[in-house]
A and B are shown apart, each in its own frame.
Chain A
Amino acid sequence: MVAAQYFDGRTTAAHAVTLTLDGEWLQMRGDVLAHEWPLRDVKVSERLGDTPRRITLPDGGHCEVTDHAALEVLLKQGGYRSGWLDGMQHSMRWALLSALLIVLLFAAAYRYLLPWGAEVVARSIPANMLQKMGASSLQTLDKLMLEPSKLAPERQQALRDAYARLSPLPDAQLAYRIEFRSAPQIGPNAFALPDGNIVMLDELVALTQDDDEIIAVLAHERGHVEQRHALRMVLQSSAVGLAMTWYMGDVSSLLATVPAMLVQASYSRDMEREADEYAARTLQLNAKSPCLLPDILHKLEAAHAKRQAEARKDSGGSVMDYLASHPATQERSALLCPAH
């Protein structure tokens, strides 16, 4: 026997009733009411926490039941089966399992779906858009952290000529130019802009006497550009940023960070390996030694280690130095130049 409140669907008056099951018939009894309906014509709402359950009756009325245990007994008697979701929605185990699965799904999307999506989008961006992005990035960088190059014009021209003589791989798509700049606070470095321009810092040129080593770096950077690495990194981090700002609710701050991300974006190990491979193929095509790249990489590493040591002396050491070092250089050089 289940206590319930009956509403006839025509007035708001509540009638206290009891529900009982007689074979396949649901019987409802109240002070002045007595009805019965076949159980299969009656609709019982699914369980939803401790909320009152609703029994929709064929006469347009309904019953509200708050005595859940008694109703369960009656429903079981009538052969009523709850849906598969019912158990899941009310078990702590399923709640925790769902939370875990959601976290795993997000992690998988971040690890696999995001890089794949970024690559698809990066490859579909037209050349004039790349040019615009490259030009505006260079402009911002010039304003924020780059200084004009102090390299003699003849030296610049010599490097440009050497680079121009380098035949590109047959599947190369972009035209390449070198922009010479100086940036004492960044140290020896070179980076590729999305449009194919490569920013070469004086500090890196000063690191070596061998122009071929600089050409090797340029070939490596070209590999980053051809494979749209910078673009993919920017797309990935903006997608994450977009999701975070959508979640927190502010989009304008996102747009301001794009140029900075272009420089700060540290490529993934896979990306570095791809660019190394590209450089090695380019050097091979031009009858140059693939060991040129490891040579300059070692010099770069030594120069950065020295800078860090100096910075440590000034600041008393920091955790960032440890994170910023490149333990992979040995590994990379072994791959590129086994004889070394």
Chain B
Amino acid sequence: MQTQQEHAFEFTGKGWEYFRIWIVNLLLSILTLGIYSAWAKVRRLQYFYRNTQLAGASFEYHGTPIAILKGRLIAFALLAAYTVAGQMNPLLGILIFVLLAAVMPWLIVRSLRFKLFNSSYRGLRFGFAGSDGAAYAVFLLFPILTVLTLYLLAPFTHYKIKQYQHNNSRFGDTFFRFDATAGNFYGIYLKAFGLLLLAGVFFGISAALHMPILMVILPLIYLYIVGFLAVRLPNLIWSKTGLGEHDLYCRMEVGKYLMIALTNLLGIVFTLGLYIPFAQIRMAQYKFSCMGVLAQGDLAEFVAGQVQSDSATGEETAEMFDLDISL
């Protein structure tokens, strides 16, 4: 077996540099009552993609502001229709909600296609080939079953969603593969649940002993659980993802992640938001420094696939309804 060569991602974005771009675009977005935000979004993604380096070359984002704007207008119309209908007649509101739920998987597929098709590396585009039928299973059927089984099925649903996303993504002509098992997901969620039980035990002890000082530990445990899930799930998902004969890896650490997330939060609160661009850069720097490719031989052996076009409608609608579950 050939030895694997490790190529780490490198993120070269700089806080002050991004701040200048961010603030000018924010001002223009406010002055145009949000219309310009589509252009700002393209610029933000371009800045982050181009600053992400792998093996001496960077990524590129190709989405167009007009496509994103169109998607946003449709999303806004849907949201407005839902709100107004719910106000006028609860029954009509429910009807529109059901309709939205029915089109959501279809929209998510469009959004994934748009996002991947508009990403490229070394001149080759990414792509998404997932079918609508399978999307209805993972984005509608399994979530409904999850609720019906009181969330016992949640890790399995998360597994199916990631499996669907990653197995159907491709770079050029080469498909990604997803080797994780449902058991891997249950392992992480069970550990998080165990920590939650531990918090419950602490609560019980401190109540029984009348020692409220022990309660201080509770928020710390909750915080740790949040960090645990935010780190261990991407670690699992990306480390079990491969591209052709190559493997990916992701090795974030909970302590470091929490430290960055918390200091970011403090920075944002105390600067009334002006720290946001710096926070985004810091987090991207950390995440990408922990990720990379374990290449089998030379990276330069991919052949470009076909070119296809799509509209951004899907992505924007899914994003506004906060249903974009991708990592």
Contact = CB atoms under 8 A, between A and B. Distances in A.
Given A12-B122, A99-B23, A102-B23, A48 B269 contact: no
B73 to A, nearest CB: 22
Interface string B165-200: 000000010000000000000000000000000000
Contacts of A51: 12, 46-47, 50-51, 58
B13 interface: yes
Contacts of B21: 48-49, 89-90
Majority-rule SS of A interface residues: mixed
Contacts of B30: 102, 105
A48 B47 contact: yes
Interface in A1-51: 5, 7-14, 45, 48-51
B258 to A, nearest CB: 17
A160 B128 CA distance: 74
Contact of B123 (A12, A88, A89): A12
A89 B14 contact: no
Contacts of A52: 50, 58
Contacts of A91: 20
Contacts of A49: 13-14, 17-18, 20-21, 47, 51
B273 interface: yes
A9 B121 CA distance: 10
A99 B20 CA distance: 10
Given A51-B47, A89-B25, A102-B27, A11 B301 contact: yes
A64 interface: yes
Interface string B42-54: 0100110011000
A44 to B, nearest CB: 13
B27 A11 contact: no
A325 interface: no
B302 A12 contact: yes
B58 A12 contact: no
A50 B12 contact: yes
Contacts of A64: 57-58
B46 A48 contact: yes
A94 interface: yes
A30 B249 CA distance: 34
B19 interface: yes
Nearest to B19: A95
A5 B58 CA distance: 11
Given A10-B303, A95-B19, A105-B30, A89 B172 contact: no
A10 B304 CA distance: 5
B211 interface: no
Interface in B227-252: none
- What's the interface size class on A, roughly? 20 to 34
Interface in A53-102: 54, 61-62, 64, 85, 88-92, 94-95, 98-99, 101-102
Interface in B264-278: 269, 273-274
Interface residues of B, number: 38
A114 to B, nearest CB: 15
B10 interface: no
B327 interface: no
Most chain-B CB neighbours within 10 Å: which of A7, A13, A49, A52?
A49
Contacts of B17: 49-50
Interface in A243-295: 247-248
A105 B27 CA distance: 9
B57 A85 contact: no
Contacts of A85: 24
A92 to B, nearest CB: 7
A89 B20 contact: yes
A14 B53 CA distance: 14
A61 B31 CA distance: 37
A14 B20 contact: no
A95 B269 contact: no
Contacts of B56: 5, 14
Given A9-B123, A11-B303, A89-B20, A98 B27 contact: yes
Given A48-B50, A51-B50, A12 B18 contact: no
A12 B301 contact: yes
Nearest to B52: A51
B299 interface: yes
Contacts of A88: 24
A90 B27 CA distance: 14
A10 B17 CA distance: 33
Contact of A94 (B24, B46, B60, B122): B24
Interface string A117-160: 00000000000000000000000000000000000000000000
A8 B302 CA distance: 12
Nearest to A94: B24
Nearest to B13: A49
Contact of A7 (B18, B50, B122, B274): B122
A102 B276 CA distance: 15
Contacts of B47: 48-49, 51
B288 to A, nearest CB: 14
Interface string B304-318: 100000000000000
A162 B205 CA distance: 63
24 contacts: A5-B57, A7-B123, A8-B123, A11-B302, A11-B304, A12-B123, A12-B299, A12-B302, A14-B57, A49-B17, A50-B14, A51-B46, A54-B50, A62-B123, A64-B58, A88-B24, A89-B25, A92-B20, A95-B19, A95-B20, A98-B24, A98-B26, A105-B31, A247-B273
3 smallest CB-CB distances across A and B, nearest first, come from: A7-B123, A51-B50, A12-B122
Given A12-B301, A50-B12, 20 more contacts: A5-B57, A7-B122, A7-B124, A11-B124, A12-B121, A45-B46, A48-B47, A49-B13, A49-B17, A51-B47, A52-B50, A89-B21, A89-B43, A90-B20, A92-B20, A94-B20, A94-B24, A98-B27, A102-B26, A102-B27
Interface of B: 12-14, 17-21, 23-27, 30-31, 43, 46-47, 50-51, 56-58, 60, 121-124, 172, 269, 273-274, 299-304
